[in-house]
Structure 1
Amino acid sequence: MGMTDVLIVGAGPTGLVLACDLARRGATVRIVDRSPAPPRTSRAKGPNSRSLEILDDLGVVEEVLAAGSAPLPMLKYRDRLPVAEADPWADSTPSPGVPYDRGWLIAQWRLEGILRDRLAGYGVHVEPGREVVGLTQARHDDGGGNEDIKDVGGSEGSKGYEGFEGNGGHVDVAYAEGPAGRARYVIGCDGAHSSVRKLLGIGFEGTTDDDQVMVCGDVDLAEGALDRTRWHQWFDEDGAVMLCPIPGTRTGWWFQAGPERDGRGQPLAPTADGFRRLLARHTALPGPALTRAELLSTYRVNVRMADRFRAGRVLLAGDAAHVHAIAGGLGMNTGIQDAFNLGWKLGLVLTGHADAQLLDTYEEERLPVAARTLDLTSERLRATLEAIRRPGGGLDAAITPDTTGLDVGYRWSSLAAGDREPEADKSGPRAGDRAPDVPCADVVTGARTRLHRVFAGPRTTVLGFGPGSTAVLRGTADAYGDAGVRICRVYAAHEDRAGAEPGAVVDDAGHAVAAYGTEASGRTGTGTVVVVRPDHHVGLVAPADDARSVREYLRRLHGTGRSAERSPDMVDAVR
């Protein structure tokens, strides 16, 4: 039975982002999906601002932008007549710290195709038609033996799984058809009805509101039937229809509507003829203008979250871990951001730089984010339902700065080092916050770049501001240059850059100093060091003369640097 480092179950955006991130770190990855072929469905309408940053890091954002479109103004109707138009992004522009100031419209099948192509570049291909039906976690202690995962206790994190961690542990995987497999870690990215979560015996508590129902599908309208530069929204007292053009198509539209109902008021299943009747009832378009309808589904508001995201060597991400109201478009995006949080941690554990307990910080950080997202989307749904009762109300009520994902941070995390209470005169990000992305220039070539482009790839980055940071940067490079850590000296425009190391940047417009709040460090003459995790979050902010704090933080993630040895897991992998 062949061993792989990580088996990912589910090949939607969450699983594909995680697979790409792990594959570029050199991990051996398998990704399986129960569907016999990639589903051609639009579903989620696209990545938000934070997810675009992640796709940029993975090297696919240009393809995503080219295949999609900017979010469209919303044209709202009442009794078939236009009554209002709203553009939630009309006053928004990219800023030095936020190059992606808005999300992007792209069909989910197209985004998945781009990610699959990226993954194929690493030699990894999705294995379709592979349904996981059994997970058995192997003990590694002297007593030996295996246990079926669903029977192993533990109420949070890896509690109850201590005997399954450490050297030589693995998970045996049974499929409905075909040979079994074995992996050091298994990640369930297999959606709200996750087989992995059920096999783990993890609860998925919450509510389903059968009264809040919507029918959805991908449709074609006769060419020229509607203006494709608008997202059209008809909200009447007795129902609603929403039509948004699918980018990259001439006649394709996302169709969402309140369902038809039978004589008892029960919602009817979606059909092409039903869609035509809804179109004729609420819009000025005749039913026959809808020429095709497929991928029909009924959406009910589910608000649920897994009791825990980790059970030993098996973890959950995306809809397998949490589902919530559609308002705000955070479903796919929260899953993508789960994957980006988990990928670097798995990578460090697999290489033996970090202890397996680092994986506990995945749940520590992402479970509160999921809980917050459930609350946020429920509130945005309430606001939207209130708005559409009035003529001119629409889906713009669901969009707030919170839905960009840019404000998500982990100040409470055990990985947020140092004093968590800011100094009175200290600006800039605190440990746990998203590290600002600002424009700068490469010192050696003069080429324009951005800090997130400096961060890109599977490494921790140590930024040094001020001449006093030179010593700690050199020490970091000597100790960790081969262990997944890069250094980057950030020069002010007035500083002498003679002898600058490759990879250094110049903050020629002062955006980095302003964004990172390092002006205050100038009064001490020491400078500032900022450790940025591989997922663009700040791990530590320290004075440049506090090399000990920098060293201790890096040791937690990357071991003792050049003296760190590969874990037995990785030794086994190359034998």
Structure 2
Amino acid sequence: MTDVLIVGSGPTGLTLACELALGGASVRVIEERTAPHRESRGKGLWPSSLEVLEGLGVAEPLRAVGSSEVVLRKYFDGAHVNDTPMPGSGLLIGQWQIQEALRDRLAGLGVRVEYGSRLAGIAQDAAGVRAELADGTVIGARYLAGCDGGRSTTRKLLGIPFEGSGEEEPAMVIGDVRAPGLSRDFWHQWFTSEGGGILLCPMPGTDTFQLQAPPEQDERGGLLPPSLESFQRLFDRHARMPGIRLADATWLSAWRVNVRMATRIREGRVFLAGDAAHVHPIAGGLGMNTGIQDAAALSRTLAAALAGRAGQEVLDAYEAERLPVAAEVLADTSRRYERVMAAVRTPGRGTEAGLD
């Protein structure tokens, strides 16, 4: 029987796995995906997260690749308005690069992610947890951590409500693209007086940009799915730089506004962390960072439990610490998102409004 089974190999699950393995716990990490992704996704680490990763021995490799000096170049109706240097305390870096560094660290501790492993059932008693996989395999563990994202299978199997609100239609299309000829010295942010805009952020250590824009509409007002062709039309409309042709869209996605939180993040010997426990607007870049902080807190709770101090108060400590934090993050990011949406109507204002 393993000490802790972790479901999900994103930044939250991998941080938790490294913390526990460094402390001497036996850990397994299962992942429904069949292989690691290379998508930029969450792209910023705040100092508190860097501090956690420093303790795991992965911060320096990330600093060697990432950028701590980011300049927002703002345009309005196609014209350059100003440049805004951002504070250098955080780190711009792709989520896939963070996960790669954590996987390498975990492998050095003798643990490898088990890909193609889909959780299908959970049973637990006073002695531990039995996790059944889709292929019929059963894994026994003393504790289980669901770090499997906003659509968390762990949360659904436990029947834990995910309360809040969400929009049916996407608010944003997002992807990784190349933009030959566009300066990589700036996070480009184009907005227009009629509304809408497009953002292209250069991802360190790559030749790609992360693109963000409201979805394109068809002639009937319906929203078009993300595609390279649609990205180019959005770019032409908002950036008005005819010499730039986007290429090689390696990630295409859509983002919906969701503000939801699990009503509880512990069910006996099973815990939720990261997006499995809470999802919220992207303004301020707090999603991945909050998950990393969840992992640090959960590792403390599980380490205490594994050391034999598994009284009810020890197991309750994680939920008592992190559930109020999640509630505040939901409220805070909603306010930040509203500020950004209002600010970009003013020439020279951009996503920095989410940090005010």
Range into which the TM-score falls when normalised by the shorter chain: over 0.9
Partner of 2:313, secondary structure, is: helix
Alpha-carbon distance, 1:390 to partner: 1.3
In 1, the alpha carbon distance for the partners of 2:244 and 2:60 equals: 37
Partner of 1:384, secondary structure, is: helix
Which position in structure 2 is the counterpart of 1:227? 183
Which position in structure 1 is the counterpart of 2:100? 113
Correspondence 1:65 to 2:63: yes
In 2, the alpha carbon distance for the partners of 1:372 and 1:388 equals: 24
Which position in structure 2 is the counterpart of 1:43? 41
Which position in structure 2 is the counterpart of 1:321? 277
Summarize deviations over 1:282-308 as a string: whole Å, max 9, x none.
113338621211210010110000000
Match of 1:267 among 202, 211, 223: 223
Which position in structure 2 is the counterpart of 1:239? 196
Which position in structure 1 is the counterpart of 2:156? 198
Map of 1:171-210 to 2, 5 A cutoff? Answer: 171-210=129-168
In 1, the alpha carbon distance for the partners of 2:297 and 2:171 equals: 32
Map of 1:118-517 to 2, 5 A cutoff? Answer: 118-138=105-125, 164=126, 169-210=127-168, 213-222=171-180, 225-236=181-192, 237-249=194-206, 251-286=207-242, 289-400=245-356
Name the amino acid aligned to 2:203: I
Partner of 2:115, secondary structure, is: coil
In 1, the alpha carbon distance for the partners of 2:198 and 2:222 equals: 18
Contact 1:276–1:288 (CA under 8 A) maintained in structure 2: no
Partner of 1:297, secondary structure, is: strand
Summarize deviations over 1:510-529 as a string: whole Å, max 9, x none.
xxxxxxxxxxxxxxxxxxxx
Contact 2:195–2:345 (CA under 8 A) maintained in structure 1: no
Which position in structure 1 is the counterpart of 2:85? 87
Contact 1:20–1:119 (CA under 8 A) maintained in structure 2: yes
Shift in alpha-carbon separation, 1:302–1:71, aligned structure 2, 3 A: farther
Alpha-carbon distance, 1:262 to partner: 2.0
Which position in structure 1 is the counterpart of 2:51? 53
In 2, the alpha carbon distance for the partners of 1:346 and 1:294 equals: 38
In 2, the alpha carbon distance for the partners of 1:290 and 1:177 equals: 41
In 2, the alpha carbon distance for the partners of 1:69 and 1:389 equals: 28
Name the amino acid aligned to 1:284: R
Summarize deviations over 1:1-44 as a string: whole Å, max 9, x none.
xx111000000000000000000111110000000001111100
Contact 1:219–1:252 (CA under 8 A) maintained in structure 2: yes
Partner of 1:289, secondary structure, is: coil
- RMSD value over aligned CA atoms? 1.4
Which position in structure 1 is the counterpart of 2:5? 7
Map of 1:526-541 to 2, 5 A cutoff? Answer: none
Partner of 2:91, secondary structure, is: coil
Partner of 2:336, secondary structure, is: helix
Name the amino acid aligned to 1:338: D
Name the amino acid aligned to 1:200: L
Contact 2:129–2:143 (CA under 8 A) maintained in structure 1: yes
Match of 1:16 among 1, 11, 14: 14
Alpha-carbon distance, 1:357 to partner: 2.8
In 2, the alpha carbon distance for the partners of 1:354 and 1:377 equals: 34
Name the amino acid aligned to 1:285: M
Partner of 2:114, secondary structure, is: coil
In 2, the alpha carbon distance for the partners of 1:393 and 1:62 equals: 33
Partner of 2:260, secondary structure, is: strand
Alpha-carbon distance, 1:207 to partner: 0.8
Alpha-carbon distance, 1:391 to partner: 1.2
Alpha-carbon distance, 1:214 to partner: 0.4
Summarize deviations over 1:329-357 as a string: whole Å, max 9, x none.
00000000000011022012112145353
Contact 2:343–2:350 (CA under 8 A) maintained in structure 1: yes
Partner of 1:205, secondary structure, is: strand
Contact 2:39–2:95 (CA under 8 A) maintained in structure 1: yes
In 2, the alpha carbon distance for the partners of 1:264 and 1:325 equals: 28
In 2, the alpha carbon distance for the partners of 1:13 and 1:73 equals: 26
Shift in alpha-carbon separation, 1:282–1:55, aligned structure 2, 3 A: same
Higher relative contact order (CA 8 A, sep 6+): 2
Contact 1:88–1:399 (CA under 8 A) maintained in structure 2: no
Contact 1:33–1:128 (CA under 8 A) maintained in structure 2: yes
Residue ranges of structure 1 left out of the alignment (5+ in a row): 90-100, 139-163, 401-575
Equivalent pairs, count: 355
Which position in structure 2 is the counterpart of 1:487? none
Shift in alpha-carbon separation, 1:71–1:266, aligned structure 2, 3 A: farther
Residue ranges of structure 2 left out of the alignment (5+ in a row): none
In 1, the alpha carbon distance for the partners of 2:22 and 2:201 equals: 35
Name the amino acid aligned to 1:384: V
Partner of 1:357, secondary structure, is: helix
Summarize deviations over 1:361-381 as a string: whole Å, max 9, x none.
111110000000001000001
Contact 2:3–2:27 (CA under 8 A) maintained in structure 1: yes
In 1, the alpha carbon distance for the partners of 2:25 and 2:114 equals: 17
Task: Kindly name which structure, 1 or 2, has the bigger radius of gyration based on alpha carbons.
Answer: 1
Contact 2:170–2:254 (CA under 8 A) maintained in structure 1: no
In 2, the alpha carbon distance for the partners of 1:376 and 1:317 equals: 19
Partner of 1:186, secondary structure, is: strand
In 2, the alpha carbon distance for the partners of 1:35 and 1:313 equals: 25
Alpha-carbon distance, 1:211 to partner: 5.7
Partner of 1:134, secondary structure, is: strand
In 1, the alpha carbon distance for the partners of 2:34 and 2:86 equals: 39
Alpha-carbon distance, 1:103 to partner: 1.2
Name the amino acid aligned to 1:123: G
TM-score by length of 2: 0.97
Contact 1:5–1:184 (CA under 8 A) maintained in structure 2: yes
